[in-house]
Amino acid sequence: MYADRLKNLGTENAFKLGDHIIAATAAGLDVVKFNLGEPDFDAPMHIAKVGMEQIEAGNSHYTAPAGIPGLRQAIARQVSETRGIDVDMNRVVVHPGAKPSITYTLLTYVNPGDEVIYPSPGFPVYESWVTFVEAKPVPLRIRESAGFALRPDDLAELITDRTRLIMLNTPSNPCGGVVGEEDMAAIAQVIAEKAHPDCRVFTDEVYEYIVFDGLTHSSIISQPGMEERTVLLSGHSKTYAMTGWRLGYSVLPTVEEAEIFKNLNINFISCTPPFIQEAGREALENPQSAVEIAKMVEAFDRRRKLVVEGLNAIDGVTCVMPRGAFYVFPNITGACENVGAIDAFNAMSPEEQAKSSPSTLMQMFLLYRYGVATMDRPSFCRLGSEGENYLRLSTATDDESLLEGVRRIGDAVQDADGFADFVAQGVPS
């Protein structure tokens, strides 16, 4: 009954974990949620008010498919100022959330069999669409030893004449790695020297404002020769805590390419709700936004330190301090060995192994026995995840819950008997 192409579409487990959390809660656990990929703040009121006023004023009809001019202008201005380039609003296309840009980019530039390089660990929807369009997935290892920042040498090794798209993400989900200016220049040089002229670069910068330690966000689009081949994605979900509003945008290398994205909008969604776009324009234009962003970043900064310190005190867990976004990505190899997760995984059939990993077993053990919701390594691009044992913890939760969650993880990783019993009972899938 179903079309063949559906078997190539992956998913984002963050949205699927909900059912397991409901089951764990129903079993009596008070779950600490480290799984949330969204700020735990609400959209600032000066932005929300504009959305409400616009609905009251009846601004709730179809609108321009590429986005309302006021918002496209505000985006063009912001991107020009922050990236040191000159973006015309006709190169900007607005869509509901950031995700459509990932789909549109794969649909626009990639034919079956073309090679696409994307980060692993990386945002899962990249791999999902890469396989959906029947491209050859080329996962780019993001290494803990490099502080989870993408290394130019690793990228250089993967580029071939058949590479048609290189996907970058800084600050990174799930690792919190940030590519600095010097590495970004080296990455641009690698692309200029090695990539086919028709190879596009896609840069996902939805966490552009969430950086720590006085760092400034670097973008590949600012590097010489890159603006004319780069699709830049950003949006309002993370910066302005507007995940449920669904607002994101792409900046295309040419007006012609923006027209293609506009036509994809027409085919998929017609347009982005106009009252949401007006609120999005307010977010970009009202100076109060900078104050709200600073408050949020300060909270994420404090929490990452809290969680990393706590995790590093646990035997079998090591955690790099993230430099951006609101995630930490601890290495749990020692803990997996200690509780028996590696042995339990090795004892599985190849079919079972294909859907699991030691970190998946740990994820489920933590949730169902200790009431801690985390995300396992394969949730962030399965290809390239073999042999890697990590969890992603979001710090978008209050300090008290974070501390309680870390305490429970500390208890769980010492509970080899509990783990053996959990596996013997059958791990929920």
Ligand X SMILES: Cc1ncc(COP(=O)(O)O)c(C=O)c1O
Residue 280 in contact with ligand X, rule: CB under 6 A: no
Q: How far apart are CA 404 and CA 402, in angstroms?
A: 5
Residue 219 in contact with ligand X, rule: CB under 6 A: no
> For residue 352, what are the contacts with CB-CB under 8 A and spacing of at least 6?
none
Identify which range of 42-50, 85-93, 94-102, 250-258 contacts ligand X by CB under 6 A: 94-102
Residue 105 in contact with ligand X, rule: CB under 6 A: no
Q: Which of 98, 191, 271, 283 binds ligand X (CB under 6 A)?
A: 98
Chain residues 239-258 in contact with ligand X, contact rule CB under 6 A? 243, 248
Residue 229 Cα to chain centre, angstroms:
22
Q: Considering the complex, state which of residue 237 and residue 289 has its C-beta at the smaller distance from ligand X.
A: 237
Q: Computed over its alpha carbons, how large is the radius of gyration of the chain?
A: 22
- Residue ranges of the alpha helices (H) in 246-332? 255-268, 274-285, 288-312
> For residue 37, what are the contacts with CB-CB under 8 A and spacing of at least 6?
14, 173, 327, 394, 396
Residue 205 in contact with ligand X, rule: CB under 6 A: no
Cα dihedral sign, 20-23-25-29: negative
Q: How far apart are CA 235 and CA 101, in angstroms?
A: 10
Per-residue b/e over 348-374, b at no fewer than 16 CB within 10 Å?
Answer: beeeeeeebbbbbbbbbbbbbbbbbbb
Residue 235 in contact with ligand X, rule: CB under 6 A: yes
Identify which range of 47-55, 235-243, 283-291, 405-413 contacts ligand X by CB under 6 A: 235-243
Q: Which of 37, 121, 280, 410 binds ligand X (CB under 6 A)?
A: 37
Q: Considering the complex, state which of residue 97 and residue 410 has its C-beta at the smaller distance from ligand X.
A: 97
Q: Considering the complex, state which of residue 173 and residue 356 has its C-beta at the smaller distance from ligand X.
A: 173
Binding mask 139-178 for ligand X (x = CB under 6 A): ------------------------------x---x-----
Query: In this chain, which residue has its C-beta nearest to ligand X?
Result: 97
Q: Would you state the torsion angle of the CA atoms of residues 166, 105, 69, 78, taken in this order, to the nearest 10 degrees?
A: -20
Instruction: List residues near ligand X by CB under 6 A.
Output: 37, 97-99, 123, 169, 173, 204, 206, 235, 237, 243, 248
